[in-house]
């Protein structure tokens, strides 16, 4: 059992369990931890700029 709230992208429900009642795996709802030495920041910004219309 997790200490943070998890989200099921399949049935759109929140739970504390690793697997949802529908049987799919849940994901964390927390954003990634901020770091000033972000190794992948350039890639993330390029992706966001390229897909700005769909986001």
Is the model's pLDDT at 2 over the cut of 80?
Answer: no
Domain ranges for the chain: 1-29
Give residue-wise pLDDT tens across range 31-55. Answer: 778 888 888 888 988 998 888 876 5
SS3 of 9-44? CCCCEEECCCECCCCCECEECCCCCCCCCCCCHHHH
Which of the two residues, 6 and 1, has the higher pLDDT score? 6
* pTM more than 0.75: no
How high is the pLDDT of residue 24? 92
Phi, psi of 6 (to 5 degrees): -115, 160
Is the model's pLDDT at 26 over the cut of 90?
Answer: yes
């Amino acid at each position: 059992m997790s200490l943070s709230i998890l989200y099921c992208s399949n049935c759109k429900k929140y739970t504390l369990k690793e697997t949802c009642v529908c049987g799919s795996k849940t994901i964390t709802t927390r954003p990634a931890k901020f770091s000033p030495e972000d190794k992948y920041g350039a890639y993330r910004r390029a992706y966001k700029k390229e897909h700005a219309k769909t986001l």
